[in-house]
DNA sequence: CGAAGGTTTGAGGTCATTCAATTACAGTGG
DNA sequence: CCACTGTAATTGAATGACCTCAAACCTTCG
């Protein structure tokens, strides 16, 4: 009797690709067992909504794979991204009845969901979950604050180069390669999503990308492929310190 | 033998003005006792720095009274405020060796400080502190995200009116009065601080304040006194939904 | 191959900034 | 109490960065 391979390609917590970083990463075997009782996987196609602001919050979740965005919308339709959700990131807020933000899948996404009420009780009873969630929340706060600096004070060009540097850095970490000149990566998000991240319009994003191309700071392969011949030169344009410690 | 009244006007946790909201608010008597062992009060005059970005983080603290700001600075001197610290707010990050932001007293400030290492151990051993800190961090994240929307997408006028609405709301909560037409309050921060909060220049802040005055949306008594004849009219200018749920 | 969506490019306008000068304010000492 | 001084705030004119609106151009996928 063979096991049926699930859509996301793994079965249990022990195989989970995000087990070292997710909200459950500090849990021992017993605690993981409790979590398994209340968890289930859900998948979303690229472009699909995951949560709507204002709806009741039924579950919290970890992003297992894919990219999702948290956005807020003003009554007249202006959109600002307030969170970029990557594998191991946490969705939802324990103790909150109502969803506060729109969450949308930007690529195909797999979530590890926990029903909210049981999860809240686990937080109260098993310290490791709450501790990890605290760590993650404090990290997110730091990210949010860097982002506020970007939104409030940086120029369009600095915003774009900061984002490129962020993606390059994250990509390097993911592939376990150090940052290096000539490195290349795929943009995980569209121009529109970039614009909503940076507090710019699509057109301004496009123009700045073109300018960076023209000046040789980046080269592009299609709309999503980016190569960086001289990393230090790109970092210089972010407005941050040379070492680029700033954005994460 | 009479007790010497301390500078901040109270002696112990039982008298503490922020005991219902601070990081210690969930602690029982035993836990408070442990905290008392590692705590001490410090006061700062208006304008004084409290923490410098890059310095070792020796203590964490609760704001007992006064107003402080958390700011980040780019190498060329641009400043963005990333946190407004009011009574009961928490300063510092457990688990972090180095201070990440400049913290400055905007008014005279009194802090209830805890040495960092013992405090971190308390988090590990007494669940109530960690739980409360998690709640507070999640609240701060929501605030930071509202703020990101403001910085990324709102116009100068919307930024100013949003800030006024925020202060009005917070003031009403403090004085235990409901929001009402004709209410008045003191701005706790200068024009420059407002500008750093909103991602604007001083001049733009000033111009927008003047415009609101001219249009009768606010009236001013000196540079800091604000009265709002028609609250709904002001809220309409924030860009948020009519009920103004948005900014906290 | 054609359609649809995403992206780029262009021209023109607007809002916030910059730089500079003036005015109000608060604290100090006479 | 009032002039004095330094800081904070306002006002003005001009510039410039980013936006808006519109059209053309790629790509990707059926």
Model confidence at A248: pLDDT above 50: no
Confidence of residue B244 (pLDDT cuts 50, 70, 90): very low
* Statement to judge: residues B25 and B136 lie in one domain: yes
**How high is the pLDDT of residue A242?**
66
Please state, rounded to an integer, the average pLDDT across all residues of chain B. Answer: 90
CB pairs under 8 A between A and B: 113
Q: Which domain holds residue B222?
A: 155-236
* Statement to judge: residues B136 and B110 lie in one domain: yes
Please state, rounded to an integer, the average pLDDT across all residues of chain A. Answer: 90
Give the CB-side neighbour count of residue A1, counting CA atoms within 13 A.
0
8 Å CB contact of B141 and A137: yes
* Statement to judge: residues A139 and A45 lie in one domain: yes
* Statement to judge: residues A165 and A229 lie in one domain: yes
Percent of chain A's residues with pLDDT above 90: 80
* Statement to judge: residues A57 and A136 lie in one domain: yes
Q: What's the Å distance between residue B156 CA and nucleotide C15 C1'?
A: 9
Give the total number of structural domains in chain A: 2
Please report whether residue B88 resides in a domain.
yes
Contacts of B4 by beta carbon, 8 Å cutoff, 6+ apart:
none
* Statement to judge: residues A42 and A133 lie in one domain: yes
Both tokens of B76, joined, read 């060329």
- The rounded distance, in Å, linking the Cα atoms of B136 and B142 is 10
Q: Report chain B residues touching chain A, CB-CB < 8 A.
A: 70, 72, 74-76, 78-80, 82-83, 93-95, 100-101, 123-124, 127, 130-131, 133-135, 137-138, 140-142, 144-149, 151-154, 198-199, 239-241
Max intra-chain CA distance, chain A: 61
* pLDDT tens sequence across A103-125: 999 999 999 999 999 999 999 88
**How high is the pLDDT of residue B202?**
97
* pLDDT tens sequence across A122-170: 998 888 999 999 999 999 999 999 999 999 999 999 999 999 999 999 8
Q: Are strands B59-65 and B90-91 parallel, antiparallel or unpaired?
A: antiparallel
Tokens 């009554």 map to which residue? Answer: A75
* Domain-terminating residue out of B110, B131, B150: B150
Segment (H or E) for A176: none
- The rounded distance, in Å, linking the Cα atoms of A220 and A112 is 35
Residue of chain B whose Cα is closest to the Cα of A128: B124
Which of A194 and B223 is assigned the larger pLDDT? A194
- The rounded distance, in Å, linking the Cα atoms of B154 and B151 is 6
* Statement to judge: residues B93 and B205 lie in one domain: no
Confidence of residue A9 (pLDDT cuts 50, 70, 90): low
Q: What's the Å distance between residue A78 CA and nucleotide C4 C1'?
A: 24
Residue of chain A whose Cα is closest to the Cα of B138: A137
* CB atoms near residue B217 (< 10 Å): 20
Model confidence at A11: pLDDT above 70: no
Q: Looking at residues B49-70, what average pLDDT do you find?
A: 95
Residue B41 CB burial class (10 angstroms; 0-12, 13-18, ≥19): middle
* pLDDT tens sequence across B61-103: 999 999 999 999 999 999 999 999 999 999 999 999 999 999 9
- Whether A120 and A93 have beta carbons less than 8 Å apart is answered as no
**How high is the pLDDT of residue A243?**
58
Give the CATH number, domain containing residue A36.
2.60.120.10
* Statement to judge: residues A21 and A126 lie in one domain: yes
**How high is the pLDDT of residue A2?**
39
Task: Give how far the C-alpha of residue B91 lies from the chain's centroid of Cα atoms, to the nearest Å.
Answer: 10
**How high is the pLDDT of residue B3?**
40
Q: Looking at residues B169-177, what average pLDDT do you find?
A: 83
* Domain-terminating residue out of A147, A163, A183: A147
Q: Looking at residues B32-49, what average pLDDT do you find?
A: 92
* Statement to judge: residues B38 and B144 lie in one domain: yes
* Statement to judge: residues A133 and A216 lie in one domain: no
**How high is the pLDDT of residue B9?**
58
Q: What's the Å distance between residue B224 CA and nucleotide C15 C1'?
A: 26
Kindly report the bases of strand C lying within 7 A of a protein C-beta atom. 6-11, 15-20, 25-26
Both tokens of B73, joined, read 């600075």
Both tokens of B120, joined, read 């971190």
Model confidence at A246: pLDDT above 50: no
Q: How far from B201 is each of A153, B80, B156, CA to CA, in Å?
A: 10, 11, 10
* Statement to judge: residues B109 and B200 lie in one domain: no
Which nucleotide is at minimal CA–C1' distance from A154? D17
- The rounded distance, in Å, linking the Cα atoms of A165 and A86 is 16
* Statement to judge: residues A136 and A21 lie in one domain: yes
Q: Looking at residues B7-32, what average pLDDT do you find?
A: 84
């Amino acid at each position: 009797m063979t096991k049926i391979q699930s859509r996301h390609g793994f079965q249990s917590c022990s195989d989970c690709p995000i087990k070292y970083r997710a909200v459950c990463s500090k849990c021992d075997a017993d605690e993981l067992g409790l979590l398994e009782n209340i968890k289930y996987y859900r998948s979303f196609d690229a472009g699909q909504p995951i949560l709507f602001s204002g709806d009741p919050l039924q579950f919290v979740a970890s992003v297992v794979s894919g990219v999702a965005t948290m956005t807020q919308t003003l009554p007249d339709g202006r959109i600002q991204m307030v969170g970029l959700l990557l594998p191991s990131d946490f969705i939802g807020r324990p103790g909150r009845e109502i969803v506060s933000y729109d969450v949308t899948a930007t690529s195909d996404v797999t979530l590890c969901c926990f029903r909210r009420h049981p999860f809240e009780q686990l937080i109260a009873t098993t310290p490791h979950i709450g501790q990890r969630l605290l760590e993650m929340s404090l990290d997110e706060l730091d990210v949010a604050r860097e982002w506020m600096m970007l939104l409030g004070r940086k120029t369009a060009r600095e915003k774009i180069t900061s984002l490129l540097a962020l993606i390059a850095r994250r990509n390097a970490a993911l592939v376990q390669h150090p940052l290096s000149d000539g490195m290349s990566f795929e943009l995980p998000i569209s121009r529109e999503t970039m614009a909503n991240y940076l507090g710019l319009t699509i057109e301004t994003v496009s123009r700045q990308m073109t300018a960076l191309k023209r000046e040789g700071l980046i080269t592009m392969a299609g709309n999503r492929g980016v190569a960086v011949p001289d990393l230090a030169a790109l970092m210089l344009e972010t407005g941050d310190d040379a070492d680029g410690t700033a954005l994460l």
